[in-house]
């Protein structure tokens, strides 16, 4: 994956099958100059190389392997709407179990 193509907020598919969000490119990074690309997974920031590798030269579950296709998200949203209309939220509950607590909280309106 070429991380130079990413922009803030892009959804990225990780080798583990999880979805992370592209955050920032750190310029003039002194401590770890090989890992200037920051992604966020479950509220935790991780750094990767220009190629999307968490650790250069090794394969890890947190390597970025591509963009999440927008059409996949759109298809999932259509299915969620249909499930809610039909009163069957079992699959949605299972989906939400894989969402971080931080993401769930940030989705809800502030009280």
8-56 per-position pLDDT tens digit:
999 999 999 889 999 988 876 565 568 889 999 988 999 999 999 998 7
Counting the structural domains of the chain, the total is 2
Residue numbers of the domain that contains 88: 70-107
pLDDT > 90? residue 101: no
Q: Which tokens go with 110?
A: 């502030």
Query: Looking at residue 29, what is its pLDDT?
Result: 58
Query: Looking at residue 85, what is its pLDDT?
Result: 93
Together in a domain, 8 and 46:
yes
CA 93 to chain centroid, in Å, comes to 19
Together in a domain, 58 and 9:
yes
Tell me the three state secondary structure of residue 38.
Answer: strand
Together in a domain, 18 and 47:
yes
Together in a domain, 58 and 83:
no
C-alpha span between 86 and 69 (Å, rounded): 26
Together in a domain, 63 and 75:
no
Together in a domain, 20 and 56:
yes
Together in a domain, 39 and 59:
yes
C-alpha span between 19 and 61 (Å, rounded): 11
Together in a domain, 46 and 14:
yes
Together in a domain, 31 and 54:
yes
C-alpha span between 20 and 65 (Å, rounded): 11
CA 111 to chain centroid, in Å, comes to 27
Query: Looking at residue 32, what is its pLDDT?
Result: 59
Long-range residue pairs from 84-92, CB within 8 A, at least 24 positions apart, any chain: none
Together in a domain, 33 and 44:
yes
């Amino acid at each position: 994956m070429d991380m130079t193509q990413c922009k803030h907020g892009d959804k990225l598919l990780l080798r583990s099958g999880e979805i992370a969000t592209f955050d920032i490119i750190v310029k003039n990074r002194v401590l770890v100059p090989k890992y200037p690309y920051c992604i966020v997974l479950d509220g935790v920031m991780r750094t990767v190389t220009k190629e999307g590798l968490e650790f250069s030269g090794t394969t890890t579950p947190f390597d970025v392997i591509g963009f999440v296709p927008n059409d996949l998200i759109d298809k999932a949203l259509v299915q969620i709407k249909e499930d809610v209309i039909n009163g069957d939220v079992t699959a949605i509950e299972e989906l939400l179990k894989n969402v971080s607590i931080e993401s769930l909280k940030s989705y809800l309106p502030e009280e």
